[in-house]
Amino acid sequence: MNTLKLRSQLEKFFIEDIGEQDITTDLIFADETKGEIVFLAKDKGIFCGEEVIKTGFQLLNNEISTRVFVKDGQAINYGDKLAQVSGKIADLLKGERVILNLVQRMSGIATLTRKTVETLDSGHTKICDTRKTTPGLRMLEKYAVRCGGGFNHRYGLYDGVMIKDNHISFAGSISKAVEAVRKKAGHMVKVEVEVESEDQVLEAVNAGADVIMFDNRTPDEIKELIQLVPATIITEASGGIQLANIADYRDTDVDYISLGYLTHSYKALDISVKVQWNKGDE
């Protein structure tokens, strides 16, 4: 995860939440009173967000001390102490909600990804995400997928060619679309083509696609279509695949299955922040 980008995003999130000031906290804790809070797991799952905790509180006050007791991608259980943060109470209270929101969501994605990988239970096919992410959170959500044992598809429109049905319709054919790309794109750019039929698979192969994605095809249909694809071309399946039916795709022999639900239909993992001690009470 890019540290500079993380700091930049966290700054924006804090500005959105704090605004000019935290009225409640600033009125109650105007002094330098210090305290300590702990992050506690209230459910089992996969933890993700170590750097969010460390970087987030450091942005608010570099004198804040943070200790994270688990690593990203590590399994956690109910009651586990995940992190301990001590420093000026006002700063702890101003940062806890934004940081907790992110850690809960990232851990939820990592948990769902791990469950998906285990349900597929394939020694060949890899699970990957899509661009169906929350605006502003793509870097964090895709990082969480990796922590859960998945892989990342392209990050945006800028880092990979993916010729979809609407591109094909506007261009006139798969061949024309691929040809237009090949004339202008450099040799480092891979070209993926979305297909739905035997004719489209053959056209994509002959056009020189690097990746062929079977869109909204059943497992049986994929097993037939994949026979038309040379071993040198990467294959992918997407569309209509959910946790409930992903095991049906175990024997399709595709290289990747891309899943939008990993980042748009996850449940945030239940984590709470509790006061450990207040130095003002000593």
Compute the distance between CA of residue 70 and CA of residue 83 in angstroms, rounded to an integer: 8
Catalytic residue flag (residue 267): no
Active-site annotation holder among 164, 267, 274, 279: 164
Active-site annotation holder among 7, 44, 97, 126: 97
Active-site annotation holder among 91, 192, 194, 236: 194
Compute the distance between CA of residue 266 and CA of residue 106 in angstroms, rounded to an integer: 9
Residue 212 bridge partners (DSSP): 193, 235
R_g over Cα of the chain: 23
Catalytic residue flag (residue 132): yes
Catalytic residue flag (residue 194): yes
Residue where the block lists tokens 């990746």: 211
Active-site annotation holder among 50, 91, 129, 215: 215
The closest alpha carbon to 153, from 114, 115, 190, 202, belongs to 190
Residues 118, 124, 125, CA angle at the centre, nearest 5°?
65
Active-site annotation holder among 7, 44, 131, 132: 132
Residues 112, 260, 218, CA angle at the centre, nearest 5°?
100
What are the backbone angles phi and psi of residue 141, rounded to the nearest 5°?
A: -70, -40
Cβ neighbours of residue 28 under 8 Å, at least 6 residues apart? none
Catalytic residue flag (residue 32): no
Catalytic residue flag (residue 71): no
DSSP string, 125-161: PEEE--S---TT-HHHHHHHHHHTT-B---SSTTS-E
What are the backbone angles phi and psi of residue 129, rounded to the nearest 5°?
A: -90, -170
Active site residues: 97, 132, 164, 194, 215
